[in-house]
Structure formats: structure tokens, C-alpha cells
Amino acid sequence: MLRIPNKEIKREFQSLTAYYFHTDESSVAMLLEDLLQGNLEKFALRYQTILEDTASYYDLVNENSYQAHWPAVRTLRLGMLMPLENSYKIISNREKGQGRFDICLENKKQDKPSFLFELKYTKDDSVNLKKLAKQGYEQILAKQYDQGLHHAMRIGLAHRGKQVELYTDL
């Protein structure tokens, strides 16, 4: 679980994350607002725009390209979620159900949905990203990553370089 010890460090971490992604904090805020409002098509478009505008293609080739510097990249990516810290536990790469999920935003209050993300990567241009995203979604169901979560939104996100597709049951 990602935790920031005090407000000053939290604010600095958010600014550093925005700086790393060469984006402003309002872009991240709009991305998160779309997620929380269930506007997942807009969320996917904003997410792809952030990747297109900020990330190096070489960091996005596939999940193995992260191996050397994955902890730092993952921490900075999770930093995009830090504004949600008051309402959500931000959990990454944890065992739950029958496997290990990629990212979980677990609601702290039962009046809000939780979010489970399963990330998929491919370099192959012949792979249908929508189908790959659906595989991520189906993995969440098959492995029961949503076990014990109240009103979980299950989201498969497929990546090929800077291209992104999202699949959910909504």
C-alpha cells in the first residue's frame, strides 16, 4: 500500500509525479474525476493522452521493459492516484483471491465503488487491444481479485506502446 506520511510530503509527491509525466496536476485531476464518475471512455482517452504526451515509448514497449526501473516507474504511476488517498486505499501488486492484482483502489467508505485494474501489454500489432483488455477483465473475475470488496469496478487495461484500450462490465 502506498502511504505518504504528511501533507507537505504528499503535496510534493503529487507535484513531482506531475513533473515526471510532464503534465499539469489539473490533467491528472480530470483523469481521476472521470474515473470516479464512471466516465470510463473519457478516463481511457485522458489516460492515453497522458501516455502520448508524457511517457517514453521505450518505457511502454511491454511489461518486461520496466524490469530494471519498475519500482520507480510503478511508484510514480501510482503517484497519479495520490489525490484519492483520503477516500481510497491505493494498493499495488498484492495477493488476493486466487492470484495477484495489478492495482486496487479500495474504498474507505461503503458509499463509493472500489476499482480493480488488471494491466496487459503487447508488442504485437496483430493483437486486438480490446480483446486483450477483456482478458484482463476476465482475469479479475476468474482469479476473484474482487473478493471482499464492496461494489468493485473491474477494469482491464491493454497497452501497446502508447495505445490503450479499456474493458469493463459497465
Render pLDDT for 103-157 as a digit per residue (tens, 0 to 9): 999 999 888 899 999 988 888 999 999 999 999 999 999 999 999 998 999 999 9
CA atoms within 13 A on the CB side of 146: 18
Kindly tell me the burial class for residue 110, based on how many C-beta atoms sit within 10 Å of its own C-beta (0-12, 13-18, 19 or more).
exposed
Q: Domains of the chain: which residue ranges?
A: 7-168
Residue 72: its pLDDT value, please?
47
Left if phi > 0, otherwise alpha if psi is -120 to 50, otherwise beta: which for 109? beta
The per-residue pLDDT for 17 is 54
Q: Check whether 22 has a pLDDT greater than 60.
A: no
How much is the average pLDDT of 18-25?
A: 57
pLDDT digits (tens, 9 = 90+) for 29-88: 899 999 999 999 999 999 888 877 776 655 554 454 444 444 444 565 677 888 898 899
